[in-house]
Amino acid sequence: MRMHRLVLIGVGLIGGSLALDLKRAGLVGKVAGIDIDADNLTRALERRVIDYAYTQIDVQSVADADMVLIATPVNTLPLICRQLAPYLPERCIVTDVGSTKQLALQAFASELPNHYLRCVASHPIAGSDRHGALAAQFGLFAQKKCIICAHEHQDETALQSVVTMWQAVQAQIYYLDAVRHDAIFAAVSHLPHMLAYAYVHQLAEAANADELLQFAGSGFRDFTRIAASHPHIWTDICLANRKVLADLLQQQQQELVYLQQCLEQGDAQKLTAFFVKAQKIREDWQN
């Protein structure tokens, strides 16, 4: 698989890092970046993440694309697909990297019906609290998982091209259906982001927030790292996956009710059993 022209919509951590690796591997000729942030595009050009910069989706920016990779916040996907529709070259593959995959497939199906066979939903697990073109880095995807949520009308060649691309940057490919994908990542990614925001928000509401933060240490640092993640990106992800997430938040409240009762009853045995169960799972986890 070698592409002459990759069009990257959203030149940030994920899209930019992929472009860097593909260029170094010689798997893409030129990368055109489309982004609403002109400063970000300038930085991407300077760092040679992209070769051409555009601020709009139009006949010029999308021309001659072998693949369009959409790496913008997930709720922009329907609009971006709608804007792409008139300009997409006939054989062009479209893929995305978003954290919620039912929404991606819905956007592809409804906004790009003529290209739907060649629309491939993917999700590399390489997010970070860093964002923008300056965050782009070589080797970001090496030994990271990349989930592909193939749909039932998938063109086999298009699917294989996307798989080959991710394998070329050393990602490990997993296949999941979109519903299952969204349920899994609600639990292991979207929920902890909400919980980290919720905890820091609670501190922020305290009258002595500044004093509290002054004494926060390394446990706080790690526990809250993901609360530094981009608020708009995460609003979109959480809303796109809101049904499953609301249930998980409800369950988490029950966990906290239980812990509160353990404290109020001074029940060391129950508290230890609860902590042991969690600690064992976490200690056995290798990733």
- Contact positions with a copy of itself (CB under 8 A) in 146-165: 147
DSSP string computed for 181-197 = HHHHHIIIIIHHHHHHH
Q: Which stretch binds a copy of itself (CB under 8 A): 57-65, 89-97, 152-160, 221-229?
A: 221-229
Question: Rounded to an integer, what distance in angstroms lies between the CA atom of residue 225 and that of residue 108?
Answer: 33
Question: Rounded to an integer, what distance in angstroms lies between the CA atom of residue 259 and that of residue 174?
Answer: 36
The residue within the footprint of a copy of itself, chosen from 26, 59, 143, 218 (CB under 8 A), is: 218
Q: How far is the CB of 241 from a copy of itself (least distance, A)?
A: 9
Question: Rounded to an integer, what distance in angstroms lies between the CA atom of residue 53 and that of residue 164?
Answer: 26
Q: Which stretch binds a copy of itself (CB under 8 A): 8-16, 76-84, 101-109, 124-132?
A: 124-132
Q: Which stretch binds a copy of itself (CB under 8 A): 4-12, 33-41, 131-139, 198-206?
A: 198-206
CA dihedral (48, 54, 57, 63) in degrees, to 10, reads: -70
Whichever of 114 and 269 has its CB closer to a copy of itself, that residue is 269
Question: Rounded to an integer, what distance in angstroms lies between the CA atom of residue 89 and that of residue 98?
Answer: 23
For residue 34, the SS3 value is strand
Residues 38-97 close enough to bind a copy of itself by CB under 8 A: none
Q: Is 143 one of the binding residues for a copy of itself (CB under 8 A)?
A: no
Return the bridge partners of 94, or none: 68, 119
Q: Which stretch binds a copy of itself (CB under 8 A): 13-21, 51-59, 83-91, 258-266?
A: 258-266
Q: How many residues in the shown chain lie near a copy of itself by CB under 8 A?
A: 87
Whichever of 2 and 232 has its CB closer to a copy of itself, that residue is 232
